[in-house]
Amino acid sequence: MKITFYGHATVELETGGKKLLFDPFITPNELAKHIDINSLKPDYILLSHGHGDHIADLAAIQKNSGAKVICIAEIAGWLGNQGIADAHGMNIGGSFKFDFGRVKMVNAIHSSSMPDGSYGGNPAGFVIYTNEGKNIYFAGDTALTYDMKLLADDNIAWAILPIGDNYTMGVDDAIKAAAFVDCQNVIGVHYDTFPAIKLDKEETRAKFIKAGINIQLPEIGGSVDL
């Protein structure tokens, strides 16, 4: 199993021979200009919410790969109106078994609307209970929330957490979030893309290390073996 970071909040999880791409925002990201989205062939695309900095490359990658989209029900309906019929709609608290494992949609505290202003339902996170036995938490864009404590018994092996502050929780709250879900391995996302979320990586690593948490901040295009 491995996770590849494509900048901002875009990551791809490889598990059981399947590729799961989360929140594709690559082409508009100047920091990820060396990534060719045509080379990405995910089997699934998971969307945490409808903001443009999480779905900008969805249509192109889905068309090129034929990936099934997993998202909140309202976004699935919106995608159908955009000509993307292969979308599996879910809602908060629900889970579904796919060929790579089970996906549970969990709460996130943020906002959500589609690029055209349409209602995007509630923002969400995902827990992926892989067939390989490792459980992965993708928090999505969120504040720190006590709901995360509900995942403490789920044996989360890795947590993918936003750490850039301003639009989401920052480093200090992400450290608390890792404690809430009882996870010692974190991949940080949602930083550096815009001036308001510029990250001091050295300080960030020091804070996580002090808290006894393994923090990974891979370069764009880099991977982490899970």
Q: How far apart are CA 2 and CA 16, in angstroms?
A: 10
Q: Tell me which residue has tokens 């202003």.
A: 117
Note whether 172 and 178 are within 8 A (CB): no
Nearest to 56 by CA among 122, 17, 8: 8
Structure confidence by residue, pLDDT tens digits, 24-79: 999 999 999 999 999 999 999 999 999 999 999 999 999 999 999 999 999 999 99
Note whether 75 and 120 are within 8 A (CB): yes
Q: What is the pTM of this model?
A: 0.98
Q: How far apart are CA 151 and CA 159, in angstroms?
A: 11
| SS percent in the chain: helix, strand, coil, step 5 | 25, 30, 45
Angle of helix 201-210 relative to helix 171-180, nearest 10 degrees?
30
Distances (CA, A) of 207 to 65, 182, 210: 39, 17, 5
Nearest to 90 by CA among 64, 54, 121: 121
Q: How far apart are CA 140 and CA 119, in angstroms?
A: 18
Structure confidence by residue, pLDDT tens digits, 121-171: 999 999 999 999 999 999 999 999 999 999 999 999 999 999 999 999 999
24: tokens are 């594709």
